[in-house]
Structure formats: structure tokens, C-alpha cells
Amino acid sequence: MLDLVTVCYEPELPMLGLQARSLDRFLSPDLVGRIVVVDNTRRGLSSRQRRRLGHDYGGLRDRVQFRRPAELVDPAVLDGLRTSGWRLQQVLKLRAAAELTGSLCIVLDAKNHLVHDVDLGFFRDDDGHDRTRAYDLHGHPHLPSFEQTLRYLGLDPAQHVGRFTPTVTPFPLRPDLVRALLDDVAGRSERGFEREFVDHRLTEFFLYSGWLLSTGRALEDVFAFGQPDSPTVWPGAADAAGVRRQIERSLAGSLPFFAVHRSALVRLDRAARAALCGFWAERGLYSSPARARAGLRRMRVAAALAAVRGRWARRATSHR
């Protein structure tokens, strides 16, 4: 049995609905313990929004728990962090995973959704190792974060940069190890885990895997490498050819997860949108391509509004 954690904020709510429907369709209730949705929206989801999401989760709705950031982190600590968005969401993922009592937590982003049936063997092998992928981080966009995090842990990044765990979801965490990690980091100063994480510009998955190494474990003690990359539509390939390539990968390998990056949503051309909506409808996530088009339209509007707000916020900050 496994637990799931997703952190979500306003622009991702339409995508979260798609994720919820996909879990209901392709994930057996027998495999699921708790589904924790960390509601990182500014005002909190309304009761109507929670009911609608509950409907999307279908037969899994009784497993869903909505948590606000102040329920996971002391509000006084939150107010003092002076951060929001991406780094705060990383803190919340780890805090949410640490509260779970099961043996395996799968962290998702709102963009992740299932398009094929999935069983426990996709997430954990017969020997109890958590399945993931091995990345060569030479030249990776997150290489500076990797180096920063490993140096914080007293490790030499050069010894591990050629083979390390990924930065992307779905990502497996063991709640007992996460709790030990949080205690260890918190004990390194009097500031507590959250301040330590933010002030040292740490990254959640690099921190988890690097901490395992710092305790004398090998990555292979916890992870089984070889899980295939999930097909993902990234902003740089959000045209029809790029979307079709990812769909073909998904269908050829019956790969369970699919994703469309939020920044890619606004770049999809007409043919890319048609291919994606047809795929979603064929996989049963929408009852028809027309319904899929309406769902995609909501995602694109939310993503476009978020992009505009982000530009205005950066412009306001630069003029201070």
C-alpha cells in the first residue's frame, strides 16, 4: 500500500482535477492508503472546490485529506520564512510526507496524471527497493542546486554528479526516513528545519537522496534504478510533433504517468491541442474530445493568468 502527496496552488487546480480523475480510473483502491492534497492556494479551497475535487477522485474520495500549509508548519515559522512558491512547496512536500505512517509515499506534482493502469510493482520492487531513475546531472539545469545541497551535507558533488536520483515527480519517499532527515537538518542549527532549508537554498529530492548518502547508505540500499522516464510535454517541445512523440512513448510502453508542464500549456498550437485532447479522451479521462478541449482550455487560462501575474510581480520587485 502507498500514500500520495500533491502540493497545489491556484494555477494548477484544473490540472489537479485531471490528476484526481486519473487516479480514480487507473489506480486500484486496494493500493492506496492516504491521498494528501496540500492546499497552497492563497485563501484556501472553498467547500465547493473541495466537493468538486472529491467528485473527481471518485472511489478514492474517502482517502483524500486536504491540508493547509499552517497545518504542516508552525504559522509563526511560515511568516518568518520570507519565501513562497517553488521553495515553500518543497518544504511542504517533505512535511506532508513526514506525517504519513505508511512505508512508501509517492510525491506528485499537479501536472502528473495516470493514463494506464499501474500496480505496486511500478513503485517498489520485490526486494523492497523504491523504483526511480538514475540521472547524469552534468549540464543539468538544476546542477547548481545539486551542488549546493550536497556541499551542505558535507558531500563532494563531483563523486555523485554522474549518477543520481531525479528532480522530477513521481518521486518515492519513505516517511520514516523523511522524519529522520528533518530531525537531522533541524538539529544543525537553532533555526529549525524550514529556516535551514530556505536559507541554505536546499532542494527537496536532492536533500533526501544526499542525506541517505551522508548517513553511510548507498543509493542502491533504498532505490532500484531503471524505472522509465514518464512522458512529459515540456515547454521547448510543445508543438504537435512534440506532443505526438510523448503520446507514442506512452502508448508503446504502456507507461503509467503522463504530464504536461504548466508553461507548455500556453504554447500548445492547435494541432498539439487536438492531439492531446484526443489522447485524454481515448484514455477515458474525459468523456469526449470536446470535454477534453474544455478542460484544457481551463488549464491554459489558469496558466496564462499565472504567467501574467508572475511578470507583473517581477516587474514590481525590480522597480523597488
**Total residues found in the chain within this entry:** 320
Number of domains in the chain: 2
Last residue of a domain, one of 196, 225, 254: 225
208 and 275 in a common domain: no
221 and 237 in a common domain: no
Q: Quote the cell numbers at residue 43.
A: 485563501
Q: Which residues of 72-89 are buried (b: 16+ CB within 10 A; e: fewer)?
A: bbeeeebeebebeeebbb
204 and 63 in a common domain: yes
Last residue of a domain, one of 188, 205, 225: 225
pLDDT in tens, 23-73: 999 999 999 999 999 999 989 999 999 999 999 999 999 999 999 999 999
> 76 lies in which domain range?
2-225
203 and 76 in a common domain: yes
Q: Distance between CA atoms of 21 and 57, rounded to whole angstroms? A: 5
By the 10 Å C-beta count (0-12 exposed, 13-18 middle, 19+ buried), 119 is classed as: exposed
Q: Distance between CA atoms of 173 and 171, rounded to whole angstroms? A: 7
The pTM for the full model equals: 0.94
Last residue of a domain, one of 182, 198, 225: 225
pLDDT-derived band at 319 (thresholds 50, 70, 90) equals very low
pLDDT in tens, 222-281: 999 999 999 999 999 999 999 999 999 999 999 999 999 999 999 999 999 999 999 999
pLDDT in tens, 127-164: 999 999 999 999 999 999 999 999 999 999 999 999 99
191 and 58 in a common domain: yes
pLDDT-derived band at 311 (thresholds 50, 70, 90) equals low
Mean predicted lDDT score pLDDT of the chain: 93
Determine the distance from the C-alpha atom of residue 187 to the mean position of all C-alpha atoms in its chain, rounded to a whole number. 27
